Structures are given as C-alpha cells and as structure tokens.
Structure 1
Amino acid sequence: MESYSDFLNHKDIVVKACGFEVNRNDLNPMLYDFQKDIVRFALMKGRSAIFAECGLGKTPMQLEWANHVASHTGKPVLILAPLAVAAQTQREGYKFHIPVTICETRDDVKPGVNITNYEKMEHFVADDFSGVVLDESSILKSFTSKTRYALIDMWAKTPYKLCCTATPAPNDHMELGNHSEFLGIMTRAEMLAMYFVHDGSRTSQWRLKGHAVDVFWQWMASWSVMITNPIDLGYHEHGYDLPNLHIHEIIVDGDEPVHEELSLTERRQARKDSLELRCQRAADLVNNSDEQWICWCDLNNESKTLTDDIPDAVEVKGSDKDTHKKKAMLDFANSDVRALVTKPKIAGFGMNWQSCHNMVFVGLSDSFEAYYQAVRRCYRFGQEHEVHVYIIISAKEGCVKENIERKQDDALVMQHEMLKYTKEITKKELRKTSRLYTPYNPTVEMKLPNWEEFVA
C-alpha cells in the first residue's frame, strides 16, 4: 500500500517557473544584493510572493519587478495598494528612477508601472495589464470573502503576479492559502487537504500533518521568499537592526485585569463604559509630550473623544473623503502632523512612519493581524528610536496585554518554523538566480567528422 509520503512525492509540489531571467547587472544599482536576488527570483518564477519584514525594501523590489515585467512584455503593470500608499510608492519610484503613474480609472493608465487603490480596482480591466502586484497583500485576510474572491477571479489569467507583505499570516498558516490561490498556484482548499488536518470542531482550527511538514515548506519555498533579516539568507547588509519595543498596559479602573472569561458582548460593554476614562488617559500621554503620536481607536466615539481632547490632533475616519485621508497620512509621514487619530483598518497597512516612535491603543479589536500591522507602521527597519506602545484598557476587558503577548509568541514560533524549513531551500533558489553567465561568442567554426567513414 502506498504511504502518504510516497503519495506526496508523486505530487508536483514544486511550482514550475513561468517567468524570465534577468541578468543581475541589469537590475537597479540602488538595490542591495539581497533585494536584487529576490527580484530575480520573483521574475524567474513569474508568479510569486515576497514575505519580507517591514523596512526591508518591499516597495523598491516590487517596483523593479513591475518595471522589468512591463519592459519584457510591452504591456503595463498595475500595483494595487492601500489608500495613501500610492503617493508614497510614486515618491519611492522617483528615488529609484522608475516612473510610477497614479491612476483613478482605466483612462489614466500609461505604459510602464501604474498604481491605484484596492477600492478602485473595479475601474480597471485585467486584460490591459501583463502583470499585477498586491502591495501589503496580507490585506487579503482583512477583505470580505466577496472582495477576496473578486481579486482572485479578476486577475486569474494575468501571466505575471506578485504578492508583497511583511506577514502573510502572523499566527495562522491557513492564510498562506489566500496568497497561493491568488497567484494561481494551488487553491486554499487544495492546500488544506494536502498538508493540513482538521483539529477540533471549529473550522478555523487546522494544523500541519506531522509527516507533511518538510514537503509543505519545500512547496512554500518554491514560490515565495521569506526573510526577516538579510542575515537569515546569508547576506551581510548593515543597518538592519531593530530598536527595543516596549509595551505598556494601563488599566483605568483597577489595579489588575479581571481574569474571568467574558463574552464578546460583555467586553464591548466594558469598553463603552470606560470610554471617557481611557480617552482621557491617552490624551494626557499625548498632551504631555512634544513628540509625534499615533492614537489607534476601535470605536467611532473613541476617535471623536480623543480628537476633542487633543488640541492639535488630526482625525482620519472612514467617512472622510479620500483626499483628506491621503493628505493627513502623508502629512504625518512628513512630520507636519504631530498627533494622528485613526483606526488600524484605515491606516494600519502600508504607511512608513519611522518618524514616530510613540503610539497608544485606546481600543483593540480581536484581530492580532490589525494590531501587528498597526505597530509595524513605526516599529520597522529604519526606526532610530526605541518604540513605546501603550494599551489602555478597562479591568473588565481581561488580560489584553497577556493575550497579545501570547499571540505574539505564536507568531514568532510560526516565523521561526518558516525560516527553519525554508532558509536553506530559499538560499539554493536565490543562488540559482544569482549566477552570472558569461555569453559564449564562438570564433572558430566547428567541423564535425564524416560519420560515413566510420560506418564503412
């Protein structure tokens, strides 16, 4: 009887390359060596993902990838990005001498690299483009199923695809299936059936089959690059050290959090009851400082109250016009706004805010992904100061900080597993694409023997 290992070995688990090769010397000289090799890997694969930690240069890598795809195919490439990231990406394009066109509709598209917001995707036609990039592709998890499947369906026939994110799933292997399905490599259902086993009664609980661990990560490394630091993959670049991260928990109505299990409704009520106290403590932190602050909210009333309590605060809420949202977020990036009040689901993806190293959460959703991404707006490579994160809660909300730290530990375990299994495979994949070939230009005519003489 065939073993499960034999069954997996009969499967074509290594994704075949469908891209094209580019000489390393033809890549942008402003890229670091590890960035050049990752771009070459992605171009050779044709459909791939770059899972690189915040601050490792995903924007210049995706711009270089898009630029070469557009040049190779003679058709434009479209980058889909979160709101306000388009202008930031265009600015990065200027730095790397890659023109980037910001588009509102199909009529704005020009040859080369184009960029628009995810929300405007319906104004474009996939057949117009030879390639598509999902910037901050972990946003696939935040989208509704309808939007996620619209993304997958719309770009199903696009020959070149690239997903870029710092964390595809900080504590959930299954979300890797969203990327695989979008790229056309394997559907999420197929991935779960092949490599995972259902663990328990809740459909969200899946774990890797013990005897499928090696082949799963081999499969992952055949279409994606995972990197938290260049040294992971044997590169020795300077400047990739993170400062200390300090997480402070402030309880406004007690000394210790209540340890009893509360329902979601009870926790929400506790947050509403303590709203004024939490906002006042947050405002005191911001008002007693002359440094930049981000105030993350979860409820509309929290956002309004904080904005009222902080004299120079700029609020960005969901109902605001896109022009205000983009201006406020870019002004904050340029240090023209001292205190920004908003929600992680509005501004938690894509923005580079290393200028700020203080943030306060006056409300937290149950999404660790949202928290992680919000913190990473400031806590990223390039940050020169220690980062302070304040979580202000009611005692009735329970052990919020403890819960976050548990999920953080789970994320680090998964990250460690990813790197442990993929590091050597990825090194080999990158070495394949980093070889330089010397063109052979023959100067002497080859003369073949007369084989008829030997037969005779």
Structure 2
Amino acid sequence: MTAYAEYLAQRAQLANAGGFDPVHMPDHLFDFQRVLVDFAVQQGRAALFADCGLGKTPMSLAWAQNVHEHTGKPVLLLTPLAVGFQVVAEGHRFGYDVEQSRSGKPAAPITVTNYEQLEKFDHSDFGGVVCDESSILKAFDGKTKAIVTEFLRLVPFRLLATATAAPNDYTELGTSSEALGGLGYMDMLTRFFINKDRSISSRGRTQHRITGNPTDVGGAIKWRLKGHAEEPFWRWLATWARAIRRPSDYGFDDGAFVLPELVERVHLVEPESVRDGFLLNLPAVGLREEREETRRTLDERCEAASAALEDADAAVAWCHLNDESATLARLIKGAVELTGSDSLFEKEEKLAAFTRGEIRVLVTKPSLGAWGLNWQHAHRMTYFPSHSYEQMYQAIRRMWRFGQTQPVEVDVITTPGGEQILTNLHRKAAAADAMFAALVAHMNDALGVTSHAYDNEMEVPAWLAS
C-alpha cells in the first residue's frame, strides 16, 4: 500500500475488526439475534442498539461465552442496580455458567456485577466486558464514569448493549465510539459535524457550548452533519454498531415481537393556590415558573396519582422530587418507597421484590429504577413529566416491551403549566423515532443492504433484460 493510500485509509475512520469467528452460536437465539451476535464477535468491540425486549441479555451472554472460550479468561458483565439477578437467572435458563459477584473477584466464566461495584475489580482478570444498558453511563457521577471508562480502556474485547444509545440525538453516538476505543466524541464532532450557532461572552469572545441535541433551541451550539460527510458518517458507524427496533428491520419475521397497545391518559391538575404576588393563576412560562408550579401543586398531583393506582394489582408511581416520593408512599396503599438514600443492598432488594411481585406499588425516581429491569408482570404506572425524554422512555419501557401481554396504561399527571413540558416530550419522542428509523436505514444503506428478504422476484432494467 502506498503512503497516500495509507493516508486515505486512516482518514476513512473505519474501525478495524479485532474480533474472531464465533465458536458458540446457541440454538435458542432467534435468527436476527444470531446475525447481531456474529457481527459483534467478528468486530471484537461493538455496540448493539436493540430496542427493549429484543433479547440483549441472551445476545450479550452468547457474545461473552465466545470471548471466554477465545481468551480463556472470564468476561465481566456490568448491569444497572438489581438487574444482575435477572441476567444470572436468564443465563442459567440457557445453560451458561454465570454468577453474580460483589467481592471484586471473578465468580464464573461470565461474572455479573453492577456498575457501582466495578472499582473492586481488576481489569487484568478479564478477557472482555459487557456494558448492559450502556447509555446509563452518562447518568453517573464523574467518579463512577471515570472508573468505567478506564476499565473499558484496558480490556481487549468490549460490547455495549442498550436500547437508547441516543434517544433523540445522534451526536451522543460519539460517547459509545469513545468507550469502544474508536473515534473520540470531540473528534467525531469535528470530523463529521458543523455548528451554526455561537454565543458571545460579555467580553466579546466567542464561546462554544455543546448541546446534546442538534435540534434544541437556546444559546447552545446546534450540530448538524456536514453536507459531504453524511455518507462517510453512517459508513463509519456501521463498522462498529448495529441498530434494530424489530426483526423486520433486518428483513426477518416479527413473529412474537409485536408490542401491545400503549394507553396514555393525561390528567391536568389545576393549582388550588395562586403564586405569590399574583391575583390569578397565570400559565407557567419558563423553567423557573414550571418548577414553582410543580412544587405548589405537589399534594394535588400526588393525590391524583394515588387515585389512579387505587385499583392496580401491580404498578409504579414515578416521581422526581423527594417530597413527591414521600407523599406518594404515604397516600398509596401498599406502596414501598425506594430512595436515593437507601443503601445499595436496600435498593436492589426493593427492586427485586417488585420484580418478584411482592410489592403492589413501587414509588421511585426514573434515575433510580428505570434501567434494564423487566417488569412485564405489571402494566400500570403514573408519571410526572419532566423535560427528560430518556427518563420517560426508560420508565415506560420497563413494562411496555416485547413479551408484555397486556396493554400498558400510563397516567401522566401534570398541571396547565406542565402542558408545555408534555408537548416538548412528544416532540422529542417523534424526533427519537425518526432518528432511529434513519439510523437503521442508513446503516443498511452503508452496508449496501436494501432488503434482507431473499424470496422476492428480482427486477432488472429493460436494457439488461434484453
């Protein structure tokens, strides 16, 4: 290869496949799952962006078994709180040697622990690492995130598995690339994206402030793909990631992977008191007034949530404030409150108890209990909306996921001032759905795939047919 050809190859930013041919492909995997596992093993360091209920756990276990047999070393599988016991149970059901460890030592060829326990472990003990619900990394504090990032950097084989890599923001895909040892977040932005907005400081100097979403409004930079970089961007992404919402995205039969109905009921709670200094209740405008109205209507909203869940056999009352949590736990019969001040053991035990059906109503925040858990045994919840689309998405998807047999009912409780928040969430949901559809389409296009259905009659140009 000439020096110029080497230069062009480097500029292409195509990730080098550092993996190997799979030696383990279990029969229990669905056809689309086998395709994804094969890709991830061949790649060595890969990301699987598969929607909730598509089987990220069996795919992760199959990948981990391949890495274990290839390296002769255990594989560490990292999960959010209280998800580990689900992974272990599913692993045993499929015949894997998998155990949970909190001691910092490998417990089995596939060792499971939660992210908060990672600092106890030595990277040199493992041949690979799986990050389950990897998008949770951005929700951690700086210390935990740094520990995870450093651990990943020192392990040769890596897999990221999540449903929401970037729920409405493809610039966030750079954080996944960086975790896999590929192109860094800022390097990705400068190579493939351009910003159009700049904010001017009081001293007249241009300041850049990165926003998560290129479509966000405000003073932050809005990033968009460079006109000539769109195709190279998707081709680069396709070298290390796969995205799938349903089997038919890859041309397979959806079969049982069809979601039940999602029923969203919006309850508007009128404030009983007036803001200080006002004679009438005026619509809340801006974050400050929205937050003030949220606190002023706390009792009324919690009472509405309690009434909505009065006849539920199993449900979750999601909240965001400590006072909301305490009030909901007091008002709802049979409720158990999970709080940030609980110990790790208490958090895991409460989440596991609700999963086992031992708690009628769990009261908690999305930041504590909305990651990775399978709650198909329940189909009722209440939700106080905030501006975080990802939190609401994850909260709803604990129940509304493939394998759920009942329509999932979500009672969204807000105020007139909160209607703007709800409108913003629906806008973000539409943007997220459009982004994921584009992600799948562009990945297939980058791979030269237009359809995976091989039983269709081929159409050829008239000049070729003649």
TM over 0.5: yes
Does the CA contact (< 8 Å) of 2:251 and 2:451 recur in 1? no
Q: Once the two structures are superposed, what CA deviation does each residue of 1:232-255 show, in whole Å capped at 9, x if it has no partner?
A: 101124101112212222111079
* CA displacement 1:113-171 (0-9 Å, x = unmatched): 00111111111111111101110001122123443333222321211000000010111
Find the partner of 1:101 among 99, 102, 114: 99
Equivalent residue for 1:409, pick from 423, 430, 435: 430
Aligned-partner residue type, residue 225 of structure 2 = L
Partners of 1:427 and 1:143 in 2: how far apart? Answer: 37
Moved more, 147-156 or 30-39: 147-156
Go from structure 1 to structure 2 and tell me whether the alpha carbon gap of 1:272 and 1:45 turns closer, same or farther (over 3 Å shift).
same
1:343-362 to structure 2, matched below 5 A, reads: 343-361=365-383
Distance change >3 Å, CA 260–CA 197, structure 1 → 2: farther
Indicate the residue corresponding to 1:303 in structure 2.
325
Q: What TM-score results when the alignment is normalised by the length of structure 1?
A: 0.87
Contact 2:84 2:112 in 1 (8 A): yes
1:240-251 maps to which residues of 2 (within 5 A)? 240-251=257-268
1:61 aligned residue: 59
**Residues paired across the two proteins, number:** 418
Pick the aligned partner of 2:440 from 413, 419, 426: 419
Tell me which of 152, 156, 175 is aligned to 1:155. Answer: 152
- The answer (yes or no) to whether the contact 2:129–2:155 under 8 Å persists in 1 is yes
Runs (4+) of structure 1 exceeding 4 A deviation are 7-10, 258-261, 424-431
Shift in CA distance, 326/351, structure 1 to aligned 2, threshold 3 Å: same
State the match for 1:387 in structure 2.
408
* Local SS of the residue matching 1:211: coil
Give the Cα–Cα distance (whole angstroms) in 2 for the partners of residues 214 and 224 of structure 1. Answer: 15
Any idea what the Cα deviations from partners look like across 1:155-192, whole Å, max 9, x if unmatched?
21211000000010111112111110000011001110
User: Closer, same or farther in 2 for the Cα pair 1:220/1:259, shift >3 Å?
Assistant: farther
Equivalent residues of 1:41, 1:430 under 8 A apart: no
CA contact 1:225–1:426 (8 Å) conserved in 2 = no
Tell me which residue corresponds to 1:253: 270
Overall identity of the aligned pairs, in % = 39
Over the aligned positions, Cα root-mean-square deviation in angstroms equals: 2.2
Q: Secondary structure at the match of 1:231?
A: helix
Deviation at 1:290, TM superposition (A): 3.6
Return the offset for 1:399: 1.9
Matched residue, 1:312: 334
Distance 1:358 1:427, change over 3 A: farther
**Alignment gaps of 5+ in structure 2:** 1-6, 199-208, 212-221, 273-280, 453-466
Alpha-carbon distance in structure 2 between the residues aligned to 1:430 and 1:129: 38
**Cα distance change, pair 290–373 in 1 and its aligned pair in 2 (3 A):** closer
> Partners in 2 of 1:318 and 1:176 — Cα distance?
29
Report the CA distance between 1:382 and its aligned residue.
Answer: 0.9
Is residue 74–residue 108 contact of structure 2 (8 Å, CA) maintained in 1? Answer: yes
Matches within 5 A, 1:144-293: 144-201=141-198, 202-204=209-211, 205-253=222-270, 262-287=285-310, 289-293=311-315
Q: 2:260 is matched by which residue type in structure 1? A: P
The answer for the alignment partner of 1:21 in structure 2 is 21
| CA positional deviation for 1:384 | 1.2
Query: Which residue of the other structure, out of 23, 42, 45, is the alignment partner of 1:44?
Result: 42
User: Which residue pairs with 2:391 in the alignment?
Assistant: 370
Partner Cα distance (2:35, 2:436) in 1: 21
Structure 1: distance between partners of 2:263 and 2:8: 44
Query: What SS does the aligned partner of 1:210 have?
Result: coil
Q: What residue number does 2:86 align with?
A: 88
User: 1:111 and 1:333 mapped to 2: Cα distance?
Assistant: 25
**Quick check: 1:233–1:426 contact (8 Å CA) kept in 2?**
no
Aligned to 2:461: none
TM-superposed deviation, 1:416: 1.5
| Letter paired with 2:83 | V
Using a 3 Å threshold, how does the CA distance of structure 1 residues 36 and 191 change in structure 2: closer, same or farther? same
Letter in 1 for 2:288: T
Q: Give the CA deviation at 1:378.
A: 0.8
Could you tell me how far apart the structure 2 residues matched to 1:227 and 1:427 are?
17
Comparing both chains, which one has the higher relative contact order based on Cα–Cα distances under 8 Å and sequence gaps of 6 or more? 1
CA distances 1:258-306 after superposition (whole Å, capped 9, x unpaired) = 996733232211111000000000001111x143211001001111111
Q: Which moved more, 1:191-200 or 1:10-19?
A: 10-19
Unaligned runs of 5+ residues in structure 1 are: 1-6, 432-456
2:420 is aligned to 399
